[in-house]
């Protein structure tokens, strides 16, 4: 990129966190340029015709409970820049072997009423979180700090720190609620017997009731487009097709924000990093990866359970014990014969993504870090198990394994789409405990999902990193 006159800030990477960092700096009055190595912006929020002409697929993220609830996104006029959320009737469906499905609705009472004898326990577990979400969100989606609402956070922490399997056994007695909670908790990419895995189920369940699990109209790329348009309205610039191989390639700037994970900083910075910080970066751990399939379909997926046909998100894995066994197997370095599969079917809500009468769907399962095993047959067998006749609808498919994901997006090391393990240690020290965004290089900061609060399309990593940078610069 051109190295003309000095500028206030350069942001490397145009994923949601990079754009959030740029917007935070621009909103404070700084001149900002975003540098993106790919030909298009977006990071994990890109959409493309991966299978057949006219079939628009979300390349990475597809369902956005954290996006619609993000305090930072909510602070921006993104609807004025083209972002529209579309909400399903059922926020989440989880089919079960008996032909029924556990369903999560925005309405907490409606959801509870469908869970039989576990309904009161479900209400008791989630009602306080739903009622206090506005207090909890700024504390949960932030780096380590003294909470603004310590009592609410303590109540959350008492349950969230538990293993998901333990909390579910304590709270529920029947299959439906246990499976619903296990599926949400499995988004942690952790064995469900590990501490903190319950926090993911609690947060995602709460978001289902507070904000829903919507899709972005026109594909996830609409999120990046709205953020970029908002940045442009503030005077920010974006340069694409400019891959940065060294920090020396960047123009002089008072602030440099890097939307990259820990392991990627060392080759960019070269010998400039102190030995102690290098050890911190090298200790940073990446977790399981994903194998993903995109399908072009001649009709909607024919789920046996009717509720699955009214949701954009379906968790396919059967009972909680089966999900837990599969996730534990992945952590042992094996590929489950019956994996837990996350399915998104956005064209049930957004017909613009496929030719008339046709549909797209996307699915992934967790696999060991760096896996290249083709999981197509195992994933499709799981979907067919709960939607007989599904395979007959497939017009075309596109697959991507862990190493192909890393090649597509350098932040997905070994296929880890969360930017690093999110266990207790790396939720607190991500990659270090205090001021995790600040590097030892003056004016250089990390702002990716490899910093707090971690993975998800919410922009909060970028917001917090840029807020720290502004404070260091003396700009309020």
- Number of separate domains in the chain: 1
C-alpha triplet 63, 64, 66: angle, nearest 5°: 145
Query: What Cα–Cα distance (Å) separates residue 214 from each residue in 19, 70, 83, 452?
Result: 21, 13, 12, 23
Q: Both tokens of residue 219?
A: 């594909």
- Assess if residue 232 is contained within a domain: yes
Mean local confidence (pLDDT), 182-197: 98
Task: Classify residue 100 as exposed, middle or buried by CB count within 10 Å of its CB (0-12, 13-18, 19+).
Answer: middle
Contact 256, 18 (CB under 8 A): no
- Assess if residue 189 is contained within a domain: no
Rounded-to-integer distance, Cα 98 and Cα 67, Å: 33
- Assess if residue 159 is contained within a domain: no
pLDDT digits (tens, 9 = 90+) for 42-70: 999 999 999 999 999 999 999 999 999 99
Contact 338, 326 (CB under 8 A): yes
- Assess if residue 458 is contained within a domain: yes
C-alpha triplet 197, 313, 118: angle, nearest 5°: 60
- Assess if residue 368 is contained within a domain: no
- Assess if residue 455 is contained within a domain: yes
- Assess if residue 443 is contained within a domain: yes
Mean local confidence (pLDDT), 194-212: 98
- Asked if residue 453 has a cis previous peptide bond (ω within 30° of 0), the answer is yes
Contact 359, 299 (CB under 8 A): yes
Say what the pLDDT of residue 1 is: 53
What residues pair up with 311 in beta bridges, in sequence order? 90
Mean local confidence (pLDDT), 279-293: 97
Contact 165, 324 (CB under 8 A): yes
What residues pair up with 315 in beta bridges, in sequence order? 342
**String of DSSP letters for 125-183:** HHHHHHHTHHHHHHHHTSSS---SSHHHHHHHHHHHTS-HHHHHHHH--SHHHHHHHHH
Domain enclosing residue 11, as ranges: 7-45+71-84+216-285+420-473
**Residue 274's CATH number:** 3.50.50.60
Number of residues in the chain: 476
Confidence of residue 270 (pLDDT cuts 50, 70, 90): confident
Contact 465, 447 (CB under 8 A): yes
Query: What Cα–Cα distance (Å) separates residue 225 from each residue in 16, 229, 282, 340, 356?
Result: 10, 6, 34, 32, 25
- Assess if residue 228 is contained within a domain: yes
Q: Both tokens of residue 103?
A: 């369903």
pLDDT digits (tens, 9 = 90+) for 82-126: 999 999 999 999 999 999 999 999 999 999 999 999 999 999 999
């Amino acid at each position: 990129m051109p190295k003309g006159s000095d500028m206030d800030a350069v942001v490397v990477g145009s994923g949601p966190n990079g754009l959030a960092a740029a917007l935070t700096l621009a909103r404070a009055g700084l001149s900002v340029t975003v540098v993106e190595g790919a030909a298009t912006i977006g990071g994990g929020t890109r959409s493309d015709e991966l299978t057949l002409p006219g079939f628009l697929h979300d390349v990475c993220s597809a369902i956005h409970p954290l996006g619609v609830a993000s305090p930072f996104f909510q602070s921006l006029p993104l609807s004025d820049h083209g972002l529209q959320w579309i909400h399903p009737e059922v926020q989440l469906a989880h089919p079960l072997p008996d032909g029924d499905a556990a369903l999560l609705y925005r309405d907490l009472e409606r959801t509870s009423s469908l869970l039989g004898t576990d309904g009161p326990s479900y209400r008791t577990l989630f009602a306080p979180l739903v009622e206090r979400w506005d207090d909890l969100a700024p504390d949960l989606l932030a780096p380590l700090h003294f909470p603004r609402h310590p009592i609410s956070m303590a109540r959350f922490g008492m349950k969230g720190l538990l293993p998901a399997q333990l909390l579910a056994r304590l709270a529920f007695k029947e299959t439906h609620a246990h499976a619903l909670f296990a599926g949400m908790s499995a988004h942690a990419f952790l064995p469900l017997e590990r501490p903190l895995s319950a926090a993911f189920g609690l947060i995602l369940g709460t978001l289902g009731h507070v904000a829903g699990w919507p899709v972005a109209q026109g594909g996830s790329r609409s999120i990046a487009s709205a953020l970029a348009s908002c940045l442009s309205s503030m005077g920010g610039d974006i340069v694409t097709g400019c891959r940065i191989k060294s920090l020396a390639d960047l123009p002089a700037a008072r602030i440099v924000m890097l939307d990259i994970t820990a392991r990627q900083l060392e080759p960019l910075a070269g010998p400039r990093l102190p030995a102690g910080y290098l050890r911190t970066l090298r200790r940073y751990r990446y977790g399981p990866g994903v194998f993903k399939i995109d399908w072009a379909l001649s009709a909607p997926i024919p789920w046996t359970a009717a509720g699955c046909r009214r949701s954009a998100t379906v968790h396919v894995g059967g009972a909680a014990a089966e999900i837990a066994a599969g996730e534990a197997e992945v952590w042992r370095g094996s590929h489950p014969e019956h994996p837990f599969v996350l399915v998104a079917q956005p064209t049930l809500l957004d017909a613009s993504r496929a030719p008339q009468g046709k549909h797209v769907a996307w699915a992934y399962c967790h696999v060991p870090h760096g896996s290249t095993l083709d999981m197509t047959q195992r994933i499709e067998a799981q979907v067919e198990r709960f939607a007989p006749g599904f395979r007959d609808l497939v017009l075309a498919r596109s697959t991507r394994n862990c190493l192909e994901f890393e090649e597509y997006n350098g932040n997905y090391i070994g296929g880890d789409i969360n930017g690093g393990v999110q266990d207790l240690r790396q939720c607190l020290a991500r990659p270090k405990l205090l001021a995790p965004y600040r590097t030892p290089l003056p004016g250089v900061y990390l702002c990716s999902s490899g910093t707090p609060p971690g993975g998800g399309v919410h922009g909060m990593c970028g917001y917090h990193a840029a807020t720290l940078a502004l404070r260091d610069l003396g700009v309020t």
